[in-house]
Chain A
């Protein structure tokens, strides 16, 4: 498959443990640059754990351990001299629950930008506008930028979270079931957004929704019980899966 595409993220025999429990078993795969890669699979199959291993969010949990290599831009993110904070600044993340900070819409977008620098007001203003435009939220919120983000609807909040992640100008966007709490219309908007953003970003999307994976992704990986069963172009996975487990799952025979 797709050997011609440059790879942004590569896992080599990557295993992950929560204490004594092994959650990922020697995962090897390559995620192509500026494409949407989706991970599907039943709950607890390890797809979120894999996603959260890319920007080392799992570090926050006590007693976890990794094995093998997780390589981003040719560098193993678990090697000793990696600065996690710098790594995370290059990798944006959108979570399952839309969780704006209880601050204004404007402050939510500028949060990541003002952590270490003091950009000028006009720079911030233009970044806020462009990020909100990118996430198709500008027209809805431009008159209340300084109102609390908690006043937005669920779908708007999730698009704000995407705008917030985009604001720090990452190369990679990790999305952990970004639509699972949204209604169909908001879901549609977020999916549209994903399709637009993939020209700029390498997007990795974890989803429970197979139609969503089929609609927005270029590549799909199927996880089952901590193992990667199959990884291929999305079209191949959904039309002619090579593994029986994949076929059973996408045809709804289990999971």
Chain B
């Protein structure tokens, strides 16, 4: 008679094995179910609400009717400006850490420690930091030095700057990983041909790490696009008559708009369809950004 190895094992061991597999499997199915359920519910409840007029119109009647155009535009401006401010700084930091710093020097270690700490700070704290540093210190400083009046208040600029700081760890870690993945041999080959360190970085290291740098930036953008708590005090507004035309203006934001719709409206039930539709747009935007990151990565990997 044939006997499989599992049936020859004592019963308690077989039971443990059975339960372990069942629990692991259930957990996996549950995760999938939660995600599918969530996305499905937003699509079925909000799908009809996402129309061209919803995307292109201003909110009306105390946010109970109309569209989300200013929030969509505000979020886009915010994320663009955040990228312009944050990605260069993050990339430069990562280049310093991998290419120039002595790996065990106290300075490199403190920078790394700061980056890791920054990654764990709750986002509301970044918001408070934005008020204290960007608006009060920098903004008021600029206003009193140059005689302007527009910098000492919350704005698109200071919100972007705050988000740039918030997403710095994401950028730094992703770019550092990308730079470290460039083989040392390539660097040595370049240096042996009489290139300086800087020429090697510009002509060999960065072109080989560009995939990682782009992916890191897009992940940071994805993280920043959905962030609400950090911008609460630094420039977001619950309603706006126009699209911001200067970086010193206030702006509307998809995530914050959702918060406003669901808690600050005189009739929350009335805004329910708008909430679903807004959520779907925010979700779609984040998904699109992640998809772009994946596509860029696979495209560049093939090259």
B195 within 8 A of A: yes
Residues of A within 8 A of B103 (CB): 62
Residues of A within 8 A of B183 (CB): 99
A106-144 to B contact mask, C-beta < 8 Å, 1/0: 000001100100000000000000000000000000000
A60 within 8 A of B: yes
Which of A26-34, A90-98, A208-216 is near enough to bind chain B? Answer: A90-98
Which of A81-89, A191-199, A223-231, A240-248 is near enough to bind chain B? Answer: A81-89
Q: How large is the interface on A (under 10, 10 to 19, 20 to 34, 35 or more residues)?
A: 20 to 34
Within 8 A of A (CB), among B186-242: 186-196, 199, 203-204, 207-208
When the two chains form their complex, are residues B189 and A95 in contact, meaning their CB atoms are under 8 A apart?
yes
Which of A42-50, A68-76, A160-168 is near enough to bind chain B? Answer: A160-168
Residues of A within 8 A of B203 (CB): 111, 115
Complex: A85 Cα to B187 Cα, angstroms: 14
B14 within 8 A of A: no
Residues of A within 8 A of B193 (CB): 88-89, 92, 111-112, 115, 164-165, 168
When the two chains form their complex, are residues A101 and B192 in contact, meaning their CB atoms are under 8 A apart?
no
When the two chains form their complex, are residues B189 and A55 in contact, meaning their CB atoms are under 8 A apart?
no
B109 within 8 A of A: no
B185 within 8 A of A: yes
Residues of B within 8 A of A102 (CB): 207-208, 303
Interface hub of A60, A99, A161 (most chain B Cβ within 10 A): A99
Residues of A within 8 A of B188 (CB): 57, 60, 93, 95
Closest residue of B by beta carbon distance from A97: B185
When the two chains form their complex, are residues A88 and B185 in contact, meaning their CB atoms are under 8 A apart?
no
When the two chains form their complex, are residues A115 and B192 in contact, meaning their CB atoms are under 8 A apart?
no
Complex: A102 Cα to B204 Cα, angstroms: 9
Residues of A within 8 A of B303 (CB): 102
Residues of A within 8 A of B187 (CB): 60
- Secondary structure dominating the interface of B: helix
CB < 8 Å neighbour of B194 from A60, A62, A88? A88
When the two chains form their complex, are residues A85 and B102 in contact, meaning their CB atoms are under 8 A apart?
no
Supposing A62-B104, A101-B204 touch, asked if A93 and B186 sit within 8 A by C-beta, the answer is no
When the two chains form their complex, are residues B194 and A101 in contact, meaning their CB atoms are under 8 A apart?
no
Please count how many residues in chain B sit with their CB below 8 Å of the partner chain's CB atoms: 22
When the two chains form their complex, are residues B195 and A112 in contact, meaning their CB atoms are under 8 A apart?
yes
Q: Smallest CB–CB gap between B161 and chain A, Å?
A: 35
Complex: A88 Cα to B193 Cα, angstroms: 6
Complex: A91 Cα to B229 Cα, angstroms: 57
Complex: A168 Cα to B192 Cα, angstroms: 10
Closest residue of A by beta carbon distance from B187: A60
Supposing A99-B185, A102-B208 touch, asked if A55 and B199 sit within 8 A by C-beta, the answer is no
Closest residue of A by beta carbon distance from B208: A102
B160-192 to A contact mask, C-beta < 8 Å, 1/0: 000000000000000000000001011111111
Residues of A within 8 A of B196 (CB): 85, 115
Supposing A85-B196, A95-B185, A111-B203 touch, asked if A60 and B191 sit within 8 A by C-beta, the answer is yes
Within 8 A of B (CB), among A11-66: 55, 57, 60, 62
Within 8 A of B (CB), among A143-169: 161, 164-165, 168
Closest residue of B by beta carbon distance from A167: B193
When the two chains form their complex, are residues B208 and A93 in contact, meaning their CB atoms are under 8 A apart?
no
Closest residue of A by beta carbon distance from B104: A62
Residues of B within 8 A of A97 (CB): 185
Q: Smallest CB–CB gap between A72 and chain B, Å?
A: 14
When the two chains form their complex, are residues A57 and B194 in contact, meaning their CB atoms are under 8 A apart?
no
When the two chains form their complex, are residues B189 and A115 in contact, meaning their CB atoms are under 8 A apart?
no
Residues of A within 8 A of B204 (CB): 101
21 residue pairs of the A-B complex, CB under 8 angstroms, read A62-B103, A62-B104, A85-B195, A88-B191, A89-B194, A92-B192, A93-B192, A95-B185, A99-B183, A101-B186, A102-B208, A102-B303, A111-B195, A111-B203, A112-B193, A112-B194, A112-B195, A115-B195, A164-B193, A165-B192, A168-B194
Across the A-B interface, the 7 shortest Cβ-Cβ residue pairs: A89-B194, A112-B193, A93-B192, A99-B185, A88-B194, A99-B189, A115-B195
Interface set of A (CB-CB < 8 Å, partner B): 55, 57, 60, 62, 85-86, 88-89, 91-93, 95, 97, 99, 101-102, 111-112, 115, 161, 164-165, 168
Interface set of B (CB-CB < 8 Å, partner A): 102-104, 183, 185-196, 199, 203-204, 207-208, 303
